[in-house]
Chain A
Amino acid sequence: MNKPTITKIIKTQMETKDIKTLKFYYPGKMSPGQFFMIWIPGVDEIPMSASYINKEDKGITFKKVGAATSALFKMNKGDKIGVRGPYGNGFNIKRGKTLFIGGGTGIATITVAVEFAANKKFSSDVIIGVKNKKELFFENRLKKFINKVYVSTDDGSKGYKGFASDLTKHLLSKNKYTSVLTCGPEIMMKQILSACKDTQFQASIERYMKCSVGLCGQCCLGNGLRVCKEGPVFDGKTLKKIPEFGVYKRDASGRKIKFK
């Protein structure tokens, strides 16, 4: 039933000054890239990809940005939230060498995908990109599954100085990858897509959502592709045909908002 189930937060951890992880009891299977609708009673309900996927519990990792994430940020062990889902199609993680790229809070979604690949013993490289090293999280968690974690910072405070998309281009020219999987700012993902010539590409797309079950049309892209139902992970072939990918999204009223 697509209505929130009330569950308790069983663990919290601070990742940076304004990024936090909440783990909650929510048994069941799901794949990396799928998302939940998280209800904060009296505040809002927002879509959020899983950052931890265990048999009995799941986790979300988010940055304090608006009313909903600020309310979540204040929550502690024992507090109640409503959860429904998992929804949508996650990443299709296949054998062969995969390059994972997480930008900003997209690192949360990418990390759980890298963990999945590592558990299957698939070979992978990972780039995590942030503006400044203070915003970096999950680097140590990733190092448990992968020998080398590439870090990029816009200001050069750690690792490669520049955008994650530029570091991606560099790695793509040096190494051979079967596929590229990414989650992060849409402009970054679009640049990565154009750099992937023959390499298979998948990206997790974020849009304002309401129903999350393919009914309301709030999150539609292109010719009625529902991010909540056909997405949130789309392949490169599909994204190349969507003119608004990396260009604009829609706000709650349906007005276009250009990406900056």
Chain B
Amino acid sequence: MANLATKIASLKLDNPTILASGLMDEDAGSMKRIIDCGAGAVVTKSIGLKSRDGYPNPTVIELETGFLNAMGLPNPGIKDFEEEVKKIKQSNCVLIGSVFGSNSKEFLELGSEMQSFGADALELNMSCPHAKGYGVEIGSDSKLVKEITSCVKDSIDIPVFVKLSSNVTDIKKIAMAAEKGNADGIVAINTVKAMKIDIDIKAPILANRYGGYSGKAIKPIGVRCVFEIAESLDIPIIGVGGITTGEDALEYVMAGASAVQIGTGIYYREIDIFNKVCQEMNMWMNDNNIKKISELIGVAHK
């Protein structure tokens, strides 16, 4: 049995699979089910200061090689989310609280609340591709990324990760800005901005018209981003985008990721995908005589 335990900054995980933000993470019960399915940690839905309904449906559709979604950051607001965090933290799990804001003040307020509720780490969402005033609109400005990250880091004790988008000219530059702001890790990548038009209706299907593409199709983009970031940064990276198998996860690890996040893969391999991916990683590692996952992090750079 290979050792799958991993560390991201001070955060210790039994295995490197993490539930990505935005799926099965609106309530404690759903997150509990994901933990029971073998995830090493879960990231909450991205939470803002006030409740938001998000966009009308259609918000999610399947395409040939992935899913397109534009939820519009629906969330109950940080106050109402307290009981969900407290409830899930009653079981012994690693919880990463995802938050989105429009400026450093909002990020800090949300981060402080998440920390006080009991979150083990923070994920700053600077990468949602389809919400006005939030997400990648902030995460494509390296000055803002540095400012927000350092503002949150100055007052927060738990590790702070910054989730980035591939929808920028140079993701390395943005990641370096987060590192300069003292981020404890980078999460890459969020969904890729995309669109689907129905030719009978002659209009985009998603109510928001634009969405973010996830699933198998974006894996090569994610792997490339992680590889590029790993070349220039010293802080740990969490790889995300299109992971459905242990082999996919290993690709990300070899590109430089210390852990991986899984989201859309739940559709392709059911909810116990976390156990399946771990088993497959373990099998490959045994076959290749690798004892610890840390031996593989970033090996593709040699």
Measured CB to CB, the residues of A under 8 A from B are 1-4, 6, 37, 39, 41-46, 80, 82, 209-218, 220-225, 250-256
On chain B, the residues within 8 Å of A252 by CB distance are 53-54, 74
Asked whether, in the complex, the Cβ of B266 is within 8 Å of the Cβ of A214, the reply is yes
CB distance from A124 to the nearest CB of B (A): 34
Residue pairs across A and B with CB atoms within 8 Å: the count is: 131
Asked whether, in the complex, the Cβ of B56 is within 8 Å of the Cβ of A44, the reply is yes
Asked whether, in the complex, the Cβ of A254 is within 8 Å of the Cβ of B75, the reply is yes
Asked whether, in the complex, the Cβ of B198 is within 8 Å of the Cβ of A6, the reply is yes
Asked whether, in the complex, the Cβ of A216 is within 8 Å of the Cβ of B22, the reply is yes
Cα–Cα distance between A254 and B80 once the two chains are bound (Å): 9
The range of chain B's interface size is: 35 or more
Contacts A4-B205, A223-B32, A224-B34 given: A254-B74 contact, CB under 8 Å?
A: yes
Contacts A44-B56, A253-B76, A254-B76 given: A218-B29 contact, CB under 8 Å?
A: no
Asked whether, in the complex, the Cβ of B205 is within 8 Å of the Cβ of A3, the reply is yes
Cα–Cα distance between A2 and B61 once the two chains are bound (Å): 6
Asked whether, in the complex, the Cβ of B60 is within 8 Å of the Cβ of A216, the reply is yes
Where chain B touches its partner, the secondary structure class is loop
Contacts A214-B267, A215-B23 given: A4-B76 contact, CB under 8 Å?
A: no
On chain A, the residues within 8 Å of B267 by CB distance are 213-215
Asked whether, in the complex, the Cβ of A220 is within 8 Å of the Cβ of B27, the reply is yes
CB distance from A38 to the nearest CB of B (A): 10
Asked whether, in the complex, the Cβ of A217 is within 8 Å of the Cβ of B201, the reply is no
Q: A45-B58, A45-B59 are in contact. List 7 more A-B contacts (CB 8 A).
A: A216-B22, A224-B24, A224-B29, A252-B53, A253-B74, A254-B26, A256-B80
Measured CB to CB, the residues of B under 8 A from A are 22-27, 29-34, 36, 45, 51-54, 56-64, 67, 69, 71, 74-77, 80, 196, 198, 200-201, 203, 205, 207, 263-264, 266-267, 271
12 A-B pairs with CB atoms under 8 Å apart are A2-B62, A6-B198, A41-B198, A44-B56, A82-B201, A214-B266, A223-B30, A223-B32, A224-B30, A252-B54, A253-B77, A255-B77
Asked whether, in the complex, the Cβ of B23 is within 8 Å of the Cβ of A6, the reply is no
- Which A-chain residue is minimally distant from B56 (CB atoms)? A44
CB distance from B28 to the nearest CB of A (A): 9
Cα–Cα distance between A37 and B57 once the two chains are bound (Å): 10
- Which B-chain residue is minimally distant from A5 (CB atoms)? B200
CB distance from B275 to the nearest CB of A (A): 15
Asked whether, in the complex, the Cβ of A215 is within 8 Å of the Cβ of B26, the reply is no
Asked whether, in the complex, the Cβ of B23 is within 8 Å of the Cβ of A217, the reply is yes
Cα–Cα distance between A221 and B27 once the two chains are bound (Å): 9
The residue among B60, B69, B203, B267 with the most chain A CB atoms within 10 A of its own CB is B60
CB distance from B300 to the nearest CB of A (A): 30
Contacts A41-B201, A80-B200, A254-B26 given: A4-B59 contact, CB under 8 Å?
A: no
Asked whether, in the complex, the Cβ of B271 is within 8 Å of the Cβ of A214, the reply is yes
Asked whether, in the complex, the Cβ of B61 is within 8 Å of the Cβ of A44, the reply is no
Cα–Cα distance between A215 and B57 once the two chains are bound (Å): 15
Cα–Cα distance between A100 and B68 once the two chains are bound (Å): 39
Asked whether, in the complex, the Cβ of B24 is within 8 Å of the Cβ of A220, the reply is yes
Asked whether, in the complex, the Cβ of A216 is within 8 Å of the Cβ of B71, the reply is yes
Cα–Cα distance between A52 and B53 once the two chains are bound (Å): 32
Cα–Cα distance between A217 and B266 once the two chains are bound (Å): 11
- Which B-chain residue is minimally distant from A67 (CB atoms)? B56
On chain B, the residues within 8 Å of A214 by CB distance are 266-267, 271
Asked whether, in the complex, the Cβ of B51 is within 8 Å of the Cβ of A253, the reply is yes
